[in-house]
Structure 1
């Protein structure tokens, strides 16, 4: 009899969950209760309560579905309630160019070493985190985070959340982190893609997710009129691309009632070679993939690629990418005339009135050029070549691999900007190439984006040791607190960014109102240096204001370097 009663009770609870149809969160009288079911129209999701963090959590929400090489669409309707306790499958990864040596992948967007989810072509999922007890009408600030990884790696899976960030900044916000198609699945170009599919599919995924946020985030307690997008590396490049998307007027292009976001944060804005969708380079990548998947003799190469097994297509993309020189990224955004109407440097130069979003905060790591095996061939790190002509030849060869379409005269101009005499004798070429990659690919794009927003932008420098590319990740993604950071360093850096997300002003530091000096806007010619008293990250924070004009690289100002990369060389460099 007891067994029968238990079975009936379980059945009743199951039926109650299956037929629940709330349209939004409702106020919980007991903060220890799990959140109610959230109805998205096409699906319903049951989140859970993380009592330790004091947060509601929804993992693995499907925000879109997409056929291969096609634009994302609203998912099919499912009536059954889904438990949102597991992350969705991650997107198939690709690779960077590694043909000069065995390359290592770029830093993960995750601060966790836990095993990642299985890769799948069906990967358009996002996760939502909100303060426990949140409900519709709370109008909480919203953060949408886009992961990095060179448009080839990364995910919104294990260890990629912002739970610790919200805790240590003392801010209440709704956080959405999303996935998008990578590699050849998300960034294959060529005339055939334009004719029969879409270009920049990965960026379209992100844009669709931002539309999802506008439609649904209020059901989780968020305010769709208070949205900040943030990304690091390729995630920051994605942020930049969303800022310049559709000629800077996405509202008009998509027929929207209001903007998709109000503010943006770019941490090391990534701008690799940006070709036209039907350029010789784009057609080369397309034909290489056709060949690698045995589609050469097919009546329709596009139809053949559509039918290739997903794992085989992913493997072919990795193989093709790895055949390029070390540090070269192949499957990346292209100028397609619709989503990206021109090269990024040109669109940013048009200024704030021609950009999506109203406010921007940009962050660079102070030692982006110390890329340490990520983008620069590690085999030349400690070379001892002393012959001047050999050094000249070595630098020129590696530069040609990174920028295959710049001319010999342009390579000579780059060499003058990064002279042999200003590099160390040991690892001379390594140091120069690292600086070239850092400036052209990360530092200057961040600088240009901040400059475009002018008085509506703040620019910062991250100098917590070692301050190499992506080391700032550990201060906002995942657990954060690992016993190797001082409390004040977290309060200084995370608090400023949290204040920007919460109030659109990084001077409103909720974690510690007095720790940072006043952070002026970028047009003042000043930046905020996030520093510690020593190179030990356990030492106290020592933030201070620095003059932009005082920042130099290879003997000249950073502004001079960025003006060079935005000059005539930008055409063949694809910037």
Structure 2
């Protein structure tokens, strides 16, 4: 009973705080629909959400693209009519994370009883702006890039930012973009490079950022105050835009000004990065050719290019799901233009060789749990030789290019003697070792390296609410932020800090609360902000954020800094980092 009362009290307080948030001084009548926006090739009419106090434009087409080709400006709408931007666009075809299965294509995603159709024609974006916003408002802009391992995700139902915008005091324009996924966006190999483009999904994103520069002012946004933001693969995308074109996208694309100033990341995702025409890339290309029965054709590329889109999507899903649990098949590659080298190498060059001016990065405390094969929890062996063999076998599946000696060096970094065990002394050892390897190599260290590269222009935080597993933090800014399952102060603490960065490039200028967080030092001071609650894993517990020293963070007997130095060392090339 007391727990229920606490939930109601938290929700009531949340609603009270939400209603007290400042509102935008209207520049047009906020009770009327938004103005029609002309983007050159089409005109779009958005809608007014009176409950949230925002204008929304959904399903705006920002680009068109032929299969495996770079995006381009859409053809001009010859009808001259105003297009209704109240429905989400089709989502991009989804692939899968490795799950040791050869199942076929899943059903279309359903959220709140709304089915999202999948299509190759999916380069749409959504715009959210405060009611009353219009050209000349010069509001801060956030461009959100969804996660999903470059295989899944979308900018459709269930991914809205209305609650986030209201919580941070409105006054921001938020844009969510879609980009090609799986084999449509990240198939590599020599045939793709010779006949099309590598990293098509990244070129989609970059094209969308250029669209923002050209058109966001028409929605009330300031093109010179843009933050690109993403979680997981979305955060990895942000990182890749930071290092894109050798860190000088302005010069590479012949732009007049940068595409963005702020880089906001939640759990930077860096999977295996290889050269786009490497043996590994060719192996994955040949696998898709075989699965689609394009083997033996005069041109395997022409065959793939001409396949029905659902057939290609089904093959991509089947291939990607067949890999070991937690492995991602269709991921970015080094193409020599957009990506000139691996992330760990380019970040070492420092801020002067990066796109963007300021950085904020967070990681969750248990990033690896959801990507670790759960069958490992069934193991009951305590024999060290058997545990070592088990660890090596799983590691080889996750990092297929590591040598036997390199896998041994990873095992030495995560020794059995330092692994936590269950009360019976069994069945968590290999699971925890693998989970920690995945977390640190794939999420934690890339976030750390990014913050280090920006130095005095960076803030780094650690999300430790609830179980703090991968993506748990997204419920604090996507969808129903005020859902009665979180304490008011925890939302003010974490979401407010993110809002401060979006609005002022400074997480200390928290628009939700000026007192809930201690001062958050920049990363070069050797300090981070731990977002925690007074009662561990209780999201209804009040926020208890604290500044922690980076040097105090340890992992398997050594500092986390040492672990990140290891992953960026001689092993990094074969680890694909």
Sort the TM-score into its range (normalised by shorter chain).
over 0.9
1:74-117: CA deviation from partner (whole Å, max 9, x where unpaired): 001112211100000000000111117999x9xx9x9x554441
Question: Would you say the 8 A contact 1:116–1:157 is kept in 2?
Answer: no
* Unaligned segments of structure 1, at least 5 residues: 1-26
1:440 aligns to what? 441
2:153 aligns to what? 154
1:178 aligns to what? 177
**Equivalences for residues 73-472 of structure 1 within 5 A:** 73-78=72-77, 79-99=80-100, 113-369=112-368, 371=369, 374-423=370-419, 424=421, 425-472=426-473
Write the distance in 2 (CA, Å) between the matches of 1:345 and 1:28: 46
Write the distance in 2 (CA, Å) between the matches of 1:263 and 1:29: 29
3-state SS, counterpart of residue 436 of structure 1:
helix
Q: Structure 1 residue 31: deviation in Å?
A: 1.7
Q: Single out whichever of 499-508 and 318-327 deviates more from structure 2.
A: 318-327
Q: Structure 1 residue 30: deviation in Å?
A: 2.8
Q: Structure 1 residue 418: deviation in Å?
A: 0.5
**Equivalences for residues 14-33 of structure 1 within 5 A:** 29-33=28-32
1:489 aligns to what? 490
Q: Structure 1 residue 463: deviation in Å?
A: 0.7
* Unaligned segments of structure 2, at least 5 residues: 1-25
Q: Structure 1 residue 29: deviation in Å?
A: 4.7
3-state SS, counterpart of residue 437 of structure 1:
helix
Question: Would you say the 8 A contact 2:28–2:134 is kept in 1?
Answer: no
1:10 aligns to what? none
Write the distance in 2 (CA, Å) between the matches of 1:233 and 1:114: 26
2:564 equivalent to 1:562 = yes
2:546 aligns to what? 544
Q: Structure 1 residue 47: deviation in Å?
A: 0.3
1:9 aligns to what? none
2:573 counterpart (552, 562, 571): 571
Q: Single out whichever of 112-121 and 328-337 deviates more from structure 2.
A: 112-121
- Which runs of structure 1 show a deviation greater than 6 angstroms over 4 or more consecutive aligned residues? 100-103
Write the distance in 2 (CA, Å) between the matches of 1:468 and 1:381: 17
2:527 aligns to what? 526
Question: Would you say the 8 A contact 1:178–1:209 is kept in 2?
Answer: yes
Write the distance in 2 (CA, Å) between the matches of 1:272 and 1:37: 41
| Pair 100,136 (structure 1): closer, same or farther in 2 beyond 3 Å | closer
3-state SS, counterpart of residue 528 of structure 1:
strand
1:24 aligns to what? none
1:228-255: CA deviation from partner (whole Å, max 9, x where unpaired): 0000000000000010000000000000
Q: Structure 1 residue 28: deviation in Å?
A: 6.0
Write the distance in 2 (CA, Å) between the matches of 1:489 and 1:322: 37
Q: Structure 1 residue 426: deviation in Å?
A: 2.2
Question: Would you say the 8 A contact 2:455–2:522 is kept in 1?
Answer: yes
Question: Would you say the 8 A contact 1:114–1:158 is kept in 2?
Answer: no
Question: Would you say the 8 A contact 2:130–2:170 is kept in 1?
Answer: no
1:110-146: CA deviation from partner (whole Å, max 9, x where unpaired): 9x55444100000000000000010111100000000
Write the distance in 1 (CA, Å) between the matches of 2:559 and 2:88: 45
Q: Structure 1 residue 292: deviation in Å?
A: 1.1
Question: Would you say the 8 A contact 1:232–1:267 is kept in 2?
Answer: yes
3-state SS, counterpart of residue 243 of structure 2:
helix
Question: Would you say the 8 A contact 2:102–2:318 is kept in 1?
Answer: no
Write the distance in 2 (CA, Å) between the matches of 1:268 and 1:476: 14
Q: Structure 1 residue 171: deviation in Å?
A: 3.6
Backbone CA RMSD of aligned residues: 1.7
Q: Single out whichever of 306-315 and 287-296 deviates more from structure 2.
A: 287-296
Write the distance in 2 (CA, Å) between the matches of 1:341 and 1:495: 36
Write the distance in 1 (CA, Å) between the matches of 2:183 and 2:339: 18
3-state SS, counterpart of residue 381 of structure 1:
helix
3-state SS, counterpart of residue 541 of structure 2:
coil
2:13 aligns to what? none
Question: Would you say the 8 A contact 1:265–1:360 is kept in 2?
Answer: yes
Question: Would you say the 8 A contact 2:140–2:171 is kept in 1?
Answer: yes
Question: Would you say the 8 A contact 1:383–1:428 is kept in 2?
Answer: no
Question: Would you say the 8 A contact 1:377–1:430 is kept in 2?
Answer: yes
1:427-477: CA deviation from partner (whole Å, max 9, x where unpaired): 211110000000000000000000000000000010111111110010000
| Pair 364,174 (structure 1): closer, same or farther in 2 beyond 3 Å | same
3-state SS, counterpart of residue 490 of structure 2:
helix
Write the distance in 2 (CA, Å) between the matches of 1:195 and 1:569: 30
Instruction: Give the TM-score, by structure 1 length.
Output: 0.92
Write the distance in 2 (CA, Å) between the matches of 1:307 and 1:102: 23
Instruction: Give the TM-score, by structure 2 length.
Output: 0.92
| Pair 528,101 (structure 1): closer, same or farther in 2 beyond 3 Å | farther
Write the distance in 1 (CA, Å) between the matches of 2:391 and 2:556: 15
Q: Structure 1 residue 166: deviation in Å?
A: 1.0
